[in-house]
Amino acid sequence: MSLFSADGLFKHFGGLVAVDRVSFAVEPGEIHALIGPNGAGKTTLINLISGLLPLDAGRLVLDGADLTGLPPYQRVRRGLSRCFQVTSVFGADSVFDNLMLAVQARAGSSFRCLRRRAAEGSLRESALALAQKFGLDAALDRAAAILPHGDQRKLDVALALATRPKLLLLDEPLAGMGPEDSAQMVALLHRLRTETAILLVEHDMDAVFQLADRISVLDYGRVLASGDVASIRDHPEVQAVYLGTEASG
Amino acid sequence: MKRAPGWLARSLPWLLLLSLALFPLLAPSLDLDYYVGFIRHLLIVMMAATSLNFILGYGGMVALGHSGFVGVGAYTVVALVDGGVTSAWGAWLAAVAVAGAFAAVIGAVSLRTRGVYFLMITLAFSQMLHHLAVSLSAYGGDDGYSLHAPLLLGVGLDDAHPHVLYWVVLALAALLFTFSCRLAVSRFGYALRGIRDNETRMAALGYPIYRIKLAAFIGAGAVAGLAGALLASHNKFVSPSVMHWTESATLLVMVVIGGLGRRWGGPAGVALWLTLAEVLKLYTEYWRWPMGLLLVLIVFLAPKGVVSLFEGPRRAG
């Protein structure tokens, strides 16, 4: 059985159909890439799956649990996590406090109000372990807003991973990164696949072909094609709408 | 850069508490008797301001109806006294509960909106409460209600004794302030500030945004209710003007000039505002003019609140 299945997802904004009966599945341990031209509906799809936008129709199932209609925080509790296309961290806070906040979300109640959080050793340890995994341990005391772009993207992914998801939604994790940062992020995502399945929206085709087990192509809100890397690379229709010169060049 | 504050900064709050506790005993010899009541009033308003600072400064909820809960607390005491209740603790506790219940209902509706809509809707609710109080003819309507019988505090003490009430208020204010400081660095405090700074991300991290905000709103409303109850004991009189919307606005301005989202913001803002008003009233009946000018000056000199002037440089990033 698939780890995650989306079935007939539909969303329109007024007369514009943004996501048109999209169905796909993600298998356990898989990196499933979602590609398509700008405006194809990729980010809308991510917002529908994570619950930040309400679905007009369709069904979402993760690991046997029906997510359709659940508010975002309950989807997170059932194992869904995401990061954002535009880096979304707590800019004024230190990297450490960012990680603490993410770890805290997963570890018990956030309604505790008498105990100092700084005294909770297990939270600190989880936050530090996360920093180490993402190579952020040298920047713990720095405010997130003044980190270099590449480190902010890493922090964004680290926050998403702190909730220990079964399925991680990554919306263009490589956006705006230089080649060095990109290579680091790709290596990092490689390592993450042992912990969680990933739904990856990305424009960097080199990275997609390196990482993805399967690829779905989205165009005008519909799934144009879905398959393994080789079949997508050679798919004539996909080449026409999207890959174009990039694939042949 | 120092991480921990020095011994002076650490002991300052205790020295302040000690001198406040001794003040009623020293006041007669210094010919400052009048100011025992003044400080008592100040401490009560500080509680309301601190609770507002919690939802406004830490929670980012710009509520313009906080005096509504102060009024609910005060009128709960009126209703109970009118019904024959004589225990101060019972009446005050009931005020906390009733104000909390009002905050639960009002918050449950208001928190579905944001920003300026939230401000408008909280204002509307507090106006409704104000009009309700005006229409309560059993409790004097517009004229208000005088509390003649003292409320009993146990062990032979009552709230009519000015010094006893002063110490009770001081103890409650100190307790509440300590609690609010702890709350700010607890899981709940961090979660609330996270929601203020980046609500979308907090939702994506799995935080129940609405429930966290509502819990903060109810807590703040309950504390405002306590302030209202103490105000009733302090004045021995309650009228609908305690919950007029201008009272909410004044409270909001106090918190802003004190320091939004800073632990001493509420107390500092209240102390500054009420002291300025008191001093200016000595010189002129038209004290609002110079007061306004001074406020403009304060906002320009300390846009982050007067408390920010006493903070060391922020820890380097």
Q: List residues of B whose CB lies inside 8 A of any A CB.
A: 182-183, 185-191, 194, 197-198, 200-209, 212, 215, 315, 317
CA-based nearest residue in chain A for residue B219:
A113
**Which distant-in-sequence residues (6+ apart) come within 8 Å of B176 by Cβ?**
B47, B50, B223, B226
Q: State the smallest CA–CA distance between residue B54 and chain A in angstroms.
A: 13
User: In the prediction, which pLDDT does B163 show?
Assistant: 87
User: In the prediction, which pLDDT does A244 show?
Assistant: 60
Q: Give the mutation candidate from B205, B218, B315 for the A interface (greatest A CB count, under 10 A).
A: B205
Is A143–B187 a contact, with Cβ atoms under 8 angstroms apart? Answer: no
What is the mean pLDDT of the segment spanning B262-272? 93
The answer to whether A35 faces chain B, any CB pair under 8 Å, is no
Is B186–A116 a contact, with Cβ atoms under 8 angstroms apart? Answer: yes
Q: State the smallest CA–CA distance between residue A215 and chain B in angstroms.
A: 25
Is A88–B194 a contact, with Cβ atoms under 8 angstroms apart? Answer: no
Q: Where are the domains of chain B?
A: 22-244
CATH class of segment(s) A4-90+164-248: alpha beta
User: In the prediction, which pLDDT does B206 show?
Assistant: 92
Query: Between helices B34-53 and B209-235, what is the axis angle to 10°?
Result: 170
Predicted confidence (pLDDT) at residue B316 exceeds the cutoff of 50: no
For the record, the structure tokens of B93 come out as: 């506790």
CA–CA distance, A224 with B128 (Å, rounded to integer) = 57
Bridge-based pairing of strands A57-62 and A4-13 is antiparallel
User: In the prediction, which pLDDT does B260 show?
Assistant: 92
For the record, the structure tokens of A112 come out as: 């505790």
pLDDT beneath 50: ranges in chain A: 246-249
Task: Reduce the DSSP state of residue A131 to 3 states and report it.
Answer: helix
> Distance of CA B84 to CAs A15, A69, B159, B179, B208, Å?
65, 51, 16, 32, 43
Q: How many CB atoms lie within 10 A of CB A40?
A: 23
Classify residue B165 as left (phi > 0), alpha (psi -120 to 50) or beta: alpha
Span B17-60, pLDDT tens digits = 999 999 998 888 888 888 999 999 999 999 999 999 999 999 99
Q: Where are the domains of chain A?
A: 4-90+164-248
User: In the prediction, which pLDDT does B141 show?
Assistant: 87
Residues of A in contact with B202 (CB under 8 A): 105
Q: Mean pLDDT in chain B?
A: 91
- ipTM associated with this complex: 0.89
Q: State the smallest CA–CA distance between residue A241 and chain B in angstroms.
A: 32
Q: State the smallest CA–CA distance between residue B98 and chain A in angstroms.
A: 22
Using CB atoms, pick whichever of A90, A92, A110 lies closest to residue B207: A110
